[in-house]
Amino acid sequence: MNIAIIGYGYWGPNLVRNFSTASNCSVLMVVDFRLERLTELKKQYPSLITSTNLDDLFNNRAIDAVVIATPVFTHFDLAKRALERDKHVLIEKPMTNSVEQANVLIDLSIKKNKVLMVDHTFLYTNGVQRMKKMIDAGEIGKLKYFDSTRINLGLFQPDVNVLWDLAPHDLSILNYLKSEKPFSVQATGISHTNNGIENIAFLTINYQSDFIAHFNCSWTSPVKIRMMLIGGDKKMIVFNDLEPSEKIKIYDTGYQHTTDEDKNKILVDYRSGDIFIPKIENKEALSNMAADFISAITNNTTPISNFQSGLDVVRILEAAQKSIKNKGKEVII
């Protein structure tokens, strides 16, 4: 199977490297508008075909699949053209910049019988896979909350706000771990530049059950934090992605409440037990992701980060954007 990659900026080189070493596929071509990026690529991969012209890719019948690693606003057009040319498509996160566009791509991929997948890289980390196993096995209990902080002195993106840039990772993890569909969102944010694109944003997702999720995203923090707290009624998980080896800690912590009938008071009983640190193999998530895409094409399997996962994330982001523009008003999903 021959793969072509569009976009050799910051993220593209990671995709070229992982697909080049993946089984059952070879990277045939890389396209980027910027000649200097292709010159850079040629130093490492002299045999790869490079081009600044997208037609070279779309007209090449030997290319079976296209990987899109360009800015978000270009995803829809590029993916649509690739599907129309009967090519399987992998799009970098977030899938598109609207639900309408995501739905057009999904319908087209079904009509063309081609794989359409999104790179939600974190779903392929051994840490997230381990959390999924523990949650599904009931070890954490009934999930009560998900609280994520993803902040640093980040690169201001010219086309999307900080939620579209940073939250897809955490949103895809949330949707993967929690099968219940979100009910509504409320979000606030601020732009400290004159382009109106928010560089700090806070998002809350409400559910019909008693579960709640919250996200804090910023490009303007002096410290880098990549942390998720996942609370269940049996145990609580702390996922710290900046920890080199001990990314996940399971706290045997909980609380029980009873109501004192006479005084009508809530009495809370706390439990603080052991902390368990599972051993997690540190394999690069992108190689698992590449293998999942190839398997979806060659073995007809459903990828973990499938188009539904892409659409679900875009749906939340679009609703959050609406809420931000309406000063935090609740938007039903």
Ligand X SMILES: NC(=O)c1ccc[n+]([C@@H]2O[C@H](COP(=O)([O-])OP(=O)(O)OC[C@H]3O[C@@H](n4cnc5c(N)ncnc54)[C@H](O)[C@@H]3O)[C@@H](O)[C@H]2O)c1
Contact positions vs ligand X (CB under 6 A): 6-12, 31-34, 37, 54, 69-72, 74, 92-93, 119, 121
The answer to whether the CB of 57 falls within 8 A of the CB of 6 is: yes
How does strand 212-218 pair with strand 200-206?
antiparallel
Residue 270, judged by CB atoms within 10 A of its CB (0-12, 13-18, 19+), counts as exposed
Handedness of CA 74, 291, 58, 35 (dihedral sign): positive
- Work out how close the CB of 188 gets to ligand X at its nearest, in angstroms, rounded to a whole number: 23
Nearer to ligand X, 82 or 185 (CB): 82
CB closer to ligand X out of 212 and 225: 225
In the bound state with ligand X, the residue whose beta carbon lies nearer, of 162 and 250, is 162
Residue nearest to ligand X (CB): 9
How far CA 4 is from CA of 39, 50, 65, 141, 271, in Å, comes to: 17, 10, 6, 44, 54
Q: How far is the CB of 111 from ligand X (least distance, A)?
A: 24
Measured from the CB atom, the residue of 91 and 236 that comes closer to ligand X is: 91
CB of 331 to ligand X, least distance (A): 23
Q: How far is the CB of 306 from ligand X (least distance, A)?
A: 15
- Of 123 and 213, the one with the shorter C-beta distance to ligand X is 123
Q: Closest separation between CB of residue 165 and ligand X, Å?
A: 6
CB-based burial, 100-122: b 16+ in 10 Å, e otherwise: ebbebbbebbeebebbbbbbbbb
